[in-house]
Amino acid sequence: MEEKRERKIPKRIAGAVINSLKGGVVPRIGLPYIAVGRKNEIAALLHDVDIIADGGASFRFIVGKYGSGKSFLLQTIRSYVMDRGFAVADADLSPERRLQGTKGQGLATYRELIRNLATKTRPEGGALMLILDRWISAVQTETARETGLSPEGPDAGNPLFEKAVEQKILEVIRSMNELVHGFDFARLLTRYWQASAEGDDEKKGLVLKWFRGEYTSKTEAKQELGVNIIITDDDWYEYIKLFAWFLKKAGYSGLMIMVDELVNVYKIPNAISRQYNYEKILTMYNDTLQGKAQYLGIIMSGTPQCVEDRRRGVYSYEALRSRLQEGKFSREGARDMLAPVIRLDPLTAEEMLVLTGKLSDIHGQLYGYQPGLTDEDLAMFIRIEYGRIGADSHITPREVIRDFIELLDILYQNPDRKASELLSSEEFSFAAPEMPGAGAGDAAGMGGRAGEDFAEFEI
């Protein structure tokens, strides 16, 4: 194991990884340094990626308990597909961001997706302008190759070159007219191309504002851009499909959108509003399977309860339940990874042991010290964590990681203390099954899990 801990990591990334995990959230950078397990799940999702790149579409649900690694898997796939030339957009649902709404909640989700639109060269998000400029630049390069003219040097401003570029752009735009809202989308692309050719940055900014869904009325869009259309709650998903198609034309492999925290649809108090949101999910699901969407992948994630609950969850919408419900043969350890719903089994103790070794090394590199934890210490930590009462069904990677980083912090700040001393102390191991009289520790050993399990319980 010692040989595996020599991989160097920049301090900026090490800090982001440790601080994010300590706070219980998934870091957006540095995931390859801490990735363990989930081999089958990643392989299944990457198989979808090949289908999308060939002009198909896919839709997957990732289902797991709080802290089981759903968000981590999403961010891992995000990194993978960007390396394969995809654009990626992700958003967390919330009370203000839904899939469908009457007060701008659906449009708010669209805005979040476009705000987080990312590519390999702009992984942090905000890549919309980069994508549009790259498209125009690619068209100019292709035109220069075909005509032998150049947009710079003695050919600069050559009307023949400009006309040839315009012709190529019009070819792309005309091919969009047959798609739903394609004519409107194409008009705005034309506006962007014209503003770019004229060097009008202000007009380019207004077109970007339109693409980001920031116009709240047709009147405002008419005054500023001369178009009588805006993106709304009802049609935002149609524009996502158009973006996926356009991105392929712009030289990308396709578009992957990731929607997390599906539980916020489950929590909508109004039954009719919930059903409208589930109807939107059904539309998206059907589009991907029936060929109505191209170059588009959709991944949604949530807890088992928000998916399987027959009263309020996704399965309360019969048309979705009949499409998504697990068959008779799938079980823990033998999941069908080709099904639309991927259920996350818990990481094994062995996988968590590998992860703690990686975290120990990263923590040492971040604070500039040589970790004193031995392989025996790591194994002892894992035995105690997985030996707690109820750990077989309730323990999650999030809890184990936070406990471990806390242990690393204490050892770093108290170099005279030994890991074995802390691990064998009554305060740490009080809930292990071999400890007699652990009744009071049962609930404590569950940490915040019991509260989470019953947080949404209703009479």
Phi, psi (rounded to 5 degrees) for 434: -75, -10
Same domain? For 305 and 368 the reply is no
Beta-carbon contacts of 146 under 8 Å, excluding residues fewer than 6 positions away, are: 164
Nearest of 456, 434, 432, 451 to residue 442 by alpha carbon: 432
Beta-carbon contacts of 159 under 8 Å, excluding residues fewer than 6 positions away, are: none
Same domain? For 153 and 301 the reply is no
Beta-carbon contacts of 130 under 8 Å, excluding residues fewer than 6 positions away, are: 119, 121, 122
Do strands 296-302 and 341-343 pair parallel, antiparallel, or not at all (unpaired)? unpaired
Mean pLDDT computed over 303-329: 86
Whether 291 maps to a domain, the answer reads: yes
Task: Give the other-Cβ count within 10 Å of 60's Cβ.
Answer: 23
Model confidence at 393, pLDDT cuts 50, 70, 90, reads low
d(CA 185, CA 210): 10
- Looking at the predicted structure, is the pLDDT value of residue 356 above 60? yes
Tell me, what's the pLDDT at 137?
A: 85
The SS3 assignment for 91 reads strand
Beta-carbon contacts of 74 under 8 Å, excluding residues fewer than 6 positions away, are: 26, 62, 90, 258, 260, 299, 301
Same domain? For 376 and 282 the reply is no
d(CA 214, CA 44): 36
d(CA 158, CA 434): 83
Domain enclosing residue 403, as ranges: 349-454
> What's the pTM value of the predicted model, to 2 decimals?
0.79
The SS3 assignment for 414 reads coil
Query: What confidence tens digit (pLDDT) does each residue in 195-212 have?
Result: 988 889 999 999 999 999
Tell me, what's the pLDDT at 177?
A: 74
Tell me, what's the pLDDT at 157?
A: 57
Mean pLDDT computed over 234-251: 93
The SS3 assignment for 310 reads coil
Whether 395 maps to a domain, the answer reads: yes
Tell me, what's the pLDDT at 150?
A: 65
Whether 69 maps to a domain, the answer reads: yes
Mean pLDDT computed over 180-186: 87
Same domain? For 356 and 430 the reply is yes
Whether 87 maps to a domain, the answer reads: yes
Tell me, what's the pLDDT at 218?
A: 93
Nearest of 359, 346, 350 to residue 4 by alpha carbon: 359
- Last residue of a domain, which of 313, 343, 373? 343
d(CA 113, CA 119): 13
- Looking at the predicted structure, is the pLDDT value of residue 380 above 50? yes
Whether 326 maps to a domain, the answer reads: yes
d(CA 117, CA 127): 6
d(CA 420, CA 413): 16
Quick one: residue 437, left, alpha or beta (phi over 0 = left, psi -120 to 50 = alpha)? left
DSSP 341: E
- Last residue of a domain, which of 343, 358, 384? 343
Tell me, what's the pLDDT at 186?
A: 86
Going through 76-166 in order, the beta strands assigned E by DSSP cover: 87-92
Picking from 351-355, 400-404, 435-439, which range would have the lowest pLDDT averaged per residue? Answer: 435-439
Whether 239 maps to a domain, the answer reads: no
Whether 336 maps to a domain, the answer reads: yes
Check residues 350 and 273 and name the one with the higher pLDDT: 273
Query: What confidence tens digit (pLDDT) does each residue in 250-278 have?
Result: 889 999 999 999 999 999 999 999 999 99
Task: Specify burial of residue 159 (Cβ count, 10 A radius: 0-12, 13-18, 19+).
Answer: exposed
Whether 445 maps to a domain, the answer reads: yes
Query: What confidence tens digit (pLDDT) does each residue in 61-120 have?
Result: 999 887 777 888 888 899 889 999 999 999 999 999 999 988 899 999 999 999 999 999
Torsion of CA 299, 72, 107, 306, to 10 degrees: 70
Mean pLDDT computed over 222-229: 91
Same domain? For 158 and 139 the reply is yes
Task: Give the other-Cβ count within 10 Å of 127's Cβ.
Answer: 23
Tell me, what's the pLDDT at 443?
A: 35
Tell me, what's the pLDDT at 329?
A: 46
The C-alpha angle with vertex 382 and arms to 379 and 387, in degrees rounded to 5, equals 125
d(CA 239, CA 185): 8
- Looking at the predicted structure, is the pLDDT value of residue 430 above 80? no
Q: How many domains is the chain built from? A: 3
Tell me, what's the pLDDT at 155?
A: 53
d(CA 412, CA 363): 9
Q: Which two tokens stand for residue 250?
A: 């712009």
d(CA 162, CA 143): 9
Same domain? For 353 and 449 the reply is yes
Same domain? For 111 and 179 the reply is no
Quick one: residue 33, left, alpha or beta (phi over 0 = left, psi -120 to 50 = alpha)? alpha
DSSP 32: G
- Looking at the predicted structure, is the pLDDT value of residue 225 above 50? yes
